[in-house]
Chains A and B, each alone.
Chain A
Amino acid sequence: MSALHIRHLYHRYGITEVLANVGLDLYAGEILALVGPSGCGKSTLLHIVAGLLTPSEILVQSDFRGIACVFQEPRLMPWKTAADNIALGLKALGVPRDARRRQAIALGRRLGLGRDDLDKYPHELSGGMQSRVSLARALAISPDLLLLDEPFSALDIGLKAELYHLLELQVRQQGTAVLMITHDLMEAVRLADRILLMAPDPGRLVREFALDRPQETRDNLWVYQTTAELLQVEEVRINFGLSEGTLPPPPPNEHARHAGCTV
């Protein structure tokens, strides 16, 4: 089974430490949610996993080969039609023109984009449509690890529910691993198998919550109740500024310089 293991991840911008001794595990077919207030280094962590940032120190082992990233904003190429945007990753992989166009159209249809929508340029599409194109671009390369940086935060409830469903389908059918950032606790409770709580200054993991109930049996009532229960947890309250108090500092790094230790 493919997996990603990270240990002793440190990252500094100049002298500010943004991530301190972060470690996590992620397995195929699992949704892992990173939850925390703004500025706690969630996005930095995601960018490191995506390979867009080189951390100051890291010990990492990963069998994931196809990594796709969905950013907070759709970030579509404004000079490409929706179909060509979806096919961007396929083009980079060297898929011939006709084949990638066929795949883009098929995928677009699955995500509720019509044929004429696919021939439009991004500025002609609504925000919701752009988000679908952005998600389709990521799914097009059949990733085994999908990174999501709050992709649903600007969408209306109906569209969110639709895309949640698509995401669950992808995970169940393809066994894709998902690492998602959100600051919507309810979203995390609805989708994730495990929730990692992150705290700022410096960015670190504070606690992990496992949600054992299968996604398809999570109804609204259960989601509300579980979210409410989570909000009673002391660390969560302190972290989101709902209660006074301090969180424990990051664990000290026992291997100051790791020379060949295995994960």
Chain B
Amino acid sequence: MIWLIRLRDALAATLSYLWSGWGAVASLLLFCALWEYGAHVYGDLVLPGPVATFRQLTHMFDSGQALPELLVSARRALYGLGLALATGTLLGLIAGRSLTAAMFSRPLATLLLGMPPIAWLVLAMLWFGMGDGTVVFTVLVACFPIVFLGAMQGARTLDNKLKDVARAYRLPRRMLLSDVYLPHLASYLFPAWITALGTSWKVVVMAELLTTVDGVGAALAVSRAQLDTATSLGWIVAVLGLLLALEYLFLEPIKRRVERWRTETA
């Protein structure tokens, strides 16, 4: 019985979530309208309109040109991102537990955050050559400080009063983690993870453009050389679409589920 109610609630939540997407769709369509207007003003060579771009994108998928490149880029982005999430979260938590470690590592993280990814890329090319390693490394160093700072902030801001409650009720160590630390941390980690996801894609395309012979970035370089604006825009739209899908269909629902204690029930 209680499971039926849970299922019904979950279904209702999903539907209301999808329904709330109309606002986002409207704003995207408005953007397309502006884009179309720009295409009329500047002409097809400089700025192909959304219709022309999507036609080109469909063609790229149909001819089997797009999917392999996207998969290559996705693999590199996810490797780098995965490494950054694992190391950043772990080290951030450790740093957040101690005031000294936090004071010590904060300027370093800010430094890393401020360092342009292109500079890392140059160094990585010198260190790792022109291959996967360079791209993955650049994604890792670009995403790491974002995740690290988020995790550290989360670990630092846990209310001492709640820690006292945990001690007064003699919570074992494992429960301290699962019932006190992690739920609090999730609300700091998720925004950081979402930002890191966006960064990973941006960096991957940039790195590929300069270093590799396959992947979306390399394909962009080719289309640029051929002055093929429609194909370039097609690639950009493909990457953005993938990013939007990952964030709104995957991460956002998880975030809502984990943080349902925050949302006010109507």
Quote the shortest CB–CB distance from B141 to chain A (angstroms). Answer: 33
Decide: A92 and B171 in contact? CB cutoff 8 A.
yes
B162 at the interface (CB under 8 A from A): yes
How far, in Å, is B181 (CB) from chain A's closest CB?
A: 11
- On whether the beta carbons of B165 and A75 are closer than 8 Å, the reply is yes
Expressed in whole angstroms, the Cα–Cα distance for A124 and B162 within the complex equals: 19
Inter-chain contacts of A67 with B (CB < 8 A):
168
On whether A77 and B179 interact (CB within 8 A), knowing A71-B161, A121-B261, A124-B265, the answer reads yes
Complex CA–CA separation, A47 to B164 (angstroms): 9
Neighbouring A residues of B165 by C-beta, 8 Å: 69, 71, 75, 77, 88
B169/A77 in contact, CB under 8 A: no
Which residue from A75, A88, A121 sits with its C-beta under 8 Å from B161? A75
Among the listed B170, B183, B260, B262, which residue makes an inter-chain contact with A77, where contact means beta carbons less than 8 Å apart?
B183
The number of inter-chain residue pairs (CB within 8 angstroms) is: 56
Bound complex: CA A69 to CA B162 (Å)? 12
Does A73 lie within 8 Å of B161, measured CB to CB? yes
Nearest residue, chain B, Cβ from A121: B261
Q: Does B114 contact A (CB under 8 A)?
A: no
- B175 interfacial contact with A, CB 8 Å: yes
The verdict on A13 contacting chain B, using a C-beta distance below 8 Å, is no
Q: A78-B261, A79-B261 are in contact. Are A92 and B162 (CB under 8 A)?
A: no
In the bound complex, do residue B184 and residue A50 qualify as a contact, i.e. CB atoms below 8 Å apart? no
Q: Is B256 an interface residue (CB 8 A)?
A: no
Q: A79-B183, A91-B179 are in contact. Are A68 and B162 (CB under 8 A)?
A: no
A54 to chain B, nearest CB (A): 12
Determine whether A89 belongs to the interface, using a CB cutoff of 8 Å to chain B: yes
* Cβ-defined partner of B169 (8 Å) among A47, A88, A121: A88
A80: Cβ under 8 A from any B Cβ: yes
Q: Is A252 an interface residue (CB 8 A)?
A: no
What's the minimum C-beta distance from B111 to chain A, rounded to whole angstroms? 34
Q: Are A52 and B164 in contact (CB under 8 A)?
A: yes
For window 75-98 of chain A, which residues contact chain B by CB distance below 8 Å?
A: 75, 77-80, 88-89, 91-92
Answer yes or no: B64 CB below 8 A from chain A CBs. no
A214 proximal to B (CB < 8 A): no
Instruction: Evaluate whether A80 and B169 lie within 8 angstroms (CB atoms) in the complex, with A71-B161, A75-B162 already known.
Output: no
**Residues of chain B lying within 8 A (CB to CB) of residue A78:** 261-262
A47 to B, closest residue via Cβ: B164
A19 within 8 Å of B by Cβ? Answer: no
Residues of chain B within 8 A of A137, CB atoms compared: 169
CB distance from A247 to the nearest CB of B (A): 31
Give the residue of B161, B171, B172, B179 whose beta carbon is less than 8 angstroms from that of A80: B179
Find the residue from B167, B169, B175, B265 having the highest chain A CB count within 10 A.
B169
> In the complex, how many angstroms separate the beta carbon of A64 from the nearest chain B beta carbon?
13
What are the residues of chain B within 8 A of A51 when measuring CB–CB?
Answer: 167-168
The docked-state distance in angstroms from the alpha carbon of A10 to that of B133 is 62
Chain B nearest CB, measured from A127 CB (Å): 16
Q: In the complex, A47→B170 CA distance in Å?
A: 14
Within 8 A of A (CB), among B78-130: none
Are A80's CB and B168's CB within 8 A? Answer: no
* Contact (Cβ within 8 A) B184 A68: no
A68–B169 touching, CB < 8 Å: yes
A122 closest partner in B (C-beta): B261
Q: Does A185 contact B (CB under 8 A)?
A: no
**Chain A's nearest CB lies how many Å from the CB of B53?**
44
**Which of these, A69, A121, A124, contacts B168 with CB under 8 Å?**
A69
Say yes or no for A141: interface residue by CB 8 A criterion: yes
Q: Is the CB of B169 within 8 A of A79?
A: no
Q: Look across to chain A and name the residue whose beta carbon is closest to the beta carbon of B168.
A: A69
Among A52, A67, A75, A79, find the residue whose CB has the most chain B CB atoms closer than 10 A: A79
With A80-B179, A124-B265 known to touch, is A92 a contact of B168 (CB < 8 Å)? no
With A and B bound together, what is the CA distance between A47 and B168 in angstroms?
Answer: 9
Q: Which residues of A contact B171 (CB under 8 A)?
A: 88, 92
- Interface mask (B141-181 → A, CB under 8 Å = 1, otherwise 0): 00000000000000000000110110111111001000110
Q: List 8 A-B contacts (CB under 8 A).
A: A68-B168, A73-B161, A75-B161, A77-B165, A91-B175, A92-B169, A121-B261, A124-B264
Contact residues of B with A, CB < 8 Å?
A: 161-162, 164-165, 167-172, 175, 179-180, 183-184, 260-262, 264-265
Q: Which residues of A contact B (CB under 8 A)?
A: 47, 50-52, 67-69, 71, 73, 75, 77-80, 88-89, 91-92, 121, 123-124, 137, 141
The 10 closest A-B pairs by CB, nearest first: A79-B183, A69-B168, A89-B169, A79-B261, A121-B261, A92-B171, A75-B165, A75-B161, A50-B168, A92-B169
Given contacts A80-B261, A88-B169, A141-B169, 12 further A-B contacts (CB under 8 A): A51-B167, A52-B168, A69-B168, A75-B164, A79-B261, A80-B179, A88-B171, A92-B169, A92-B170, A92-B172, A124-B265, A137-B169
